[in-house]
Every structure is written in structure tokens, then in C-alpha cells.
Chains A and B, each alone.
Chain A
């Protein structure tokens, strides 16, 4: 069964450092997303990406965040200068269409120290 894969599964970084979280969405999907989840809280939307551009971003997704789809398979989230409050699980998701379910990866646990 096709699946969304994310790497790394766990990333520890020092405050102020740049991190890149990587995702390989399902190959024929058209809509791509990044979400984050602070421990014990709900899944928060960060950004959606369609047709090679950002279609929507949340207030969390400030100038320190960026996304790229550098080739036909990868979808990355970059945080330029991490803060302690960026510590969370980050999930990538993809969908085939607007009225189909989103498939989620297993997440990257980001710990900023």
C-alpha cells in the first residue's frame, strides 16, 4: 500500500540552527501539507502546497519557515532559525483530491535544545 514517508524520525537541534524535514508524498497525489503537533495537543495546520506553490499558510508559518518541492518526489519543510517552541511532532500529508482523505507520514519529532 502506498504511504507517505518522513525522515528523520527524530531530530535534535540547537536553538538558532536550521533544520530540514523531509517527506516523500504518495506519487500521484496533488495536494501536500505540513502539520505540527505539540505533545498532547491537536494537529495544527502549517501550510498547504498545490501546483508548485503555497496555497495557504497559518500564522505559525512565519518567515522562518519555508517549503520546497525540489523534484517530483520530495517535499521539504525548512526552519531557518529554530526556537525552543518549535519542538513538536511534524507531520507531512498528501491527498489525491479535495474530496479524498489525506494520508499522513509517521512524523518527525523535532527537539530544540
Chain B
């Protein structure tokens, strides 16, 4: 199976600083990873994904880093803004033997102080 967990349940950062949210996964066969943002009262919203043949992928103000050796991925948010305040989840899709389900980590609350 797959367990996905996060190192920090709550992260408080000053507006303009960079944020780093971490995630660990257990299945070395996992080949695709996703980060979601969830604002209060809303559904998870896709931020960025990465496949296992990459170790870094950049989007707009966000970067995902994948370290397959230690089964760890991180989400970096540059110049964090108040609108970035939300819960962030990493998610790992499992294979057909597990119904192709998406397993979510516990989540990190990001609080941005103005």
C-alpha cells in the first residue's frame, strides 16, 4: 500500500518570504505525485505535479522537488502572499491493483502573516 505523511502540520510565514512544505511517501514504486491546495470550504485544487523521471518541476511561483532516494517531496512557494493561506496536501496515485485511487497526506496549514 501507500502511506503519505507530512512533517509539519502548521507553517506560519511572513508575507514575501518563501514557504517550504514537505511530504514523505512510502512506496518506492510510486511514479507520479501531486500537490493540492484547499481553501476553507472548498474542494482540493491542483497546484502542480511531477513524475518520477524528474527531480524538479517549476510552475508560477511554485516548485516541486522530488527525492526518490529518501522518498520525499517538497513544495516551495516563492514570495508567499496572503492568498496562499490554505491547507496543502500531497497526493500519490496508486496502481490498478489499488483501484487507481489517490492517497492524500495529512495536510499542512500554511498561514501567511501580513
Contacts of A95 in B (CB 8 A): 100, 102
In the bound assembly, the distance between CA atoms of A101 and B33 in angstroms comes to: 9
Contacting pair A107 B42 (CB below 8 A): yes
Given A101-B46, A101-B49, A106-B43, A42:B89 Cβ within 8 A: yes
Contacting pair B43 A45 (CB below 8 A): no
Given A42-B104, A42-B107, A98-B93, A103:B46 Cβ within 8 A: yes
Contacting pair B44 A91 (CB below 8 A): yes
| Interface size in chain B (residues, C-beta < 8 A) | 28
Contacting pair A48 B101 (CB below 8 A): yes
Select A43's contact among B98, B99, B104, beta carbons within 8 Å.
B104
Select B103's contact among A45, A55, A91, A99, beta carbons within 8 Å.
A45
CB of B34 closer than 8 Å to a CB of A: yes
Contacting pair B102 A45 (CB below 8 A): yes
Contacting pair B107 A98 (CB below 8 A): no
Contacting pair A93 B32 (CB below 8 A): no
In the complex formed, the residue of B with least CB distance to A3 is: B43
Contacting pair A107 B43 (CB below 8 A): yes
B75 to chain A, nearest CB (A): 14
CB of A25 closer than 8 Å to a CB of B: no
CB of A75 closer than 8 Å to a CB of B: no
In the bound assembly, the distance between CA atoms of A45 and B102 in angstroms comes to: 7
CB of B29 closer than 8 Å to a CB of A: no
Contacting pair A104 B43 (CB below 8 A): yes
In the complex formed, the residue of B with least CB distance to A93 is: B102
Interface residues of B in 60-114 (CB under 8 A from A): 89, 91, 93, 95-96, 98-107
Q: Interface residues, chain A, CB within 8 Å of chain B?
A: 4, 31, 33, 35, 42-45, 48, 50, 54-57, 91, 93, 95, 98-99, 101-107
